Chains A and B, each alone.
Chain A
Amino acid sequence: MVVVGRSNEPDAASQPQTILIVEDEIFIRLALADDLAEAGFCIFQAAGAEEALQVLQSSLPIDVMITDIRMPGALDGLELAMRARTAWPELRILLLSGNLADLPPGVLADALIAKPYNPTALIAQIRQLLNGAERCRAT
């Protein structure tokens, strides 16, 4: 799979960093997009895992993917995260879930965010990841 234009080292000074929001519920997606756009990020939106993979496979430069876990369609957020981590190891991945306790161990993500999310904490978490915070595997 060829990836064009994906940045390994996000340069906050020259370009806004880009976030792909993957969420099937439109008002949650819209709220996330509003919060993150107001924080200065460039936002792309996908309504499901298949759309997200289309965006990731395109030339759009995505720094961070925030994905809901439960989504309709053949792929859920966990499967999407696994495929994205394999194909684009530099991509930062945040998982959103209404029930983090139900997640299986060893989930491939850089951060887990509980829903309903706190916008301030979410933005801080994203900035931390983009600033090179060490990745950890959820246990």
Chain B
Amino acid sequence: MSSNVNPTMAGAPGTIVVVESDVLIRSAVCSYLRECDFRVIEAINAGEAIAVLKHLSVDIILSAVELSGPMNGFSLAQWVRARKPGPQIVLVGTATGAVNAAVNLCDSSPSSPESHQAGLLQHINRLLAERKSQCDASTQPQPPRAQTAS
């Protein structure tokens, strides 16, 4: 790991790892989230995301289901659930996957990703609020435990 990476900054509340193999989709999503004042780390596949998670503390993993490499978004989520209980995970179907699924399932094509931005932001903010309240609760002084009679 480079010594230039600021682990404190990376572990600050509101740190999101965006895992997306399409560079233009990744750039658009990351730019949008940075404009919303989140700290964003870009990963091109599950392997890079895992490398980040092994070294840095993050709050949310926003991953495409379809990824390049041997692991897809579900595999990444399984890895995280088994080894890193902290981060919230949001899986996103890519436009290609949605269109392919829609061909057989829907009467009209999927709406554009842009129309989901507000919903995505709302979802991320809700997850961060939940995570913060969990952290706050865990740092509150606990009442003394009742002694059990022997």
Contact = CB atoms under 8 A, between A and B. Distances in A.
Contacts of A27: 1-2, 5, 51, 55
A31 B6 CA distance: 8
Contacts of A31: 2-5
Contacts of B5: 27, 30-31, 34
A47 B44 contact: yes
B24 A30 contact: no
Interface stretch (A52-60, A83-91, A97-105): A52-60
Contacts of B51: 26-27
A55 B2 contact: no
Contacts of B9: 34
A119 B6 CA distance: 13
Contacts of B3: 31
B52 A46 contact: no
Contacts of A34: 4-6, 9
Given A26-B43, A30-B41, A119 B24 contact: no
Nearest to A30: B5
Contacts of A44: 27, 31
A17 to B, nearest CB: 15
B6 A55 contact: no
Nearest to A50: B23
Contact of B23 (A26, A29, A30, A51): A51
Nearest to A51: B23
A35 interface: yes
Interface in A61-87: none
B24 A26 contact: no
B48 interface: yes
Contacts of B42: 29-30, 33, 45
A46 to B, nearest CB: 6
Interface in A1-59: 26-35, 44-47, 51, 54-55, 58
